[in-house]
Amino acid sequence: MKAIFSFLFLSFFITSAFASDARMPAIAKADTDVNIPAPNFSLKDLNGKTVSLADYKGKTLVIDFWATWCVPCRESFPAVKMVMDKYKNDPDVKFLFIDTREKVEDFVPLIKKFLADNQYPFYVVLDEKGTDGKMDKTYLKYVMPGIPTKYIIDKNGIIRFKHVGFVPGQKPEDAAADVEADIEQTKKQGL
């Protein structure tokens, strides 16, 4: 009986821990993907120009992994735009949107239309196909559980914060404040 009670208590504790984590705002948590060097990449933007992580050395970089079909990604964008607006005159903070895991072959027109329709000034690069033939090579390097996922990288190329997902119903102002606080902390850590 004591063993059954212990098992049930432990099961309840584990279930509660995961359930509460799923309801928490998408803020950076201590995990193995933080305080490590960001995996390098070299990707093409929507105009065919090659962009790499090294291009952002000396800057605080926010990388946002997303896809056109991803509803939580789209729901997070008003908050991301607020953050971008705050830092638009800060030459030391940059934003890069990595479109990944698209499910259709001709996705570039979808991206362009989405950005134009919503007047998003996002600088988008395209993930490459991995060995499995899926458009997820860089996505897999960053070892994400899903999208949207945002990484905040310091000027030395170290991942300082990771935001996974988007909380349904969260006010854009609150989500933006979380990311802004992490950008400020990252700027201090990278000194």
* pLDDT for the residue 32: 59
- This prediction has a pTM of 0.82
Residue 109 makes CB contacts below 8 A (sequence gap 6+) with none
Query: Which residue's structure tokens are 């933080």?
Result: 34
CA 172 to chain centroid, in Å, comes to 16
Range of weakest confidence among 9-18, 37-46, 148-157: 9-18
Tokens of 148: 């949207």
91-105 pLDDT tens trace:
999 999 999 999 998
For CA atoms 24, 144, 37, 178, the dihedral sign is negative
From the number of C-beta atoms within 10 Å of its C-beta (0-12, 13-18, 19+), residue 49 rates as exposed
Name which residue leads in pLDDT, 125 or 132: 125
3-state helix, strand, coil in the chain (%, to 5): 40, 20, 40
Mean pLDDT of all residues in the chain? 85
Residue 187 has pLDDT above 60, yes or no: yes
Tokens of 138: 């860089």
Q: Cα(155)–Cα(136) distance, rounded to whole angstroms?
A: 25
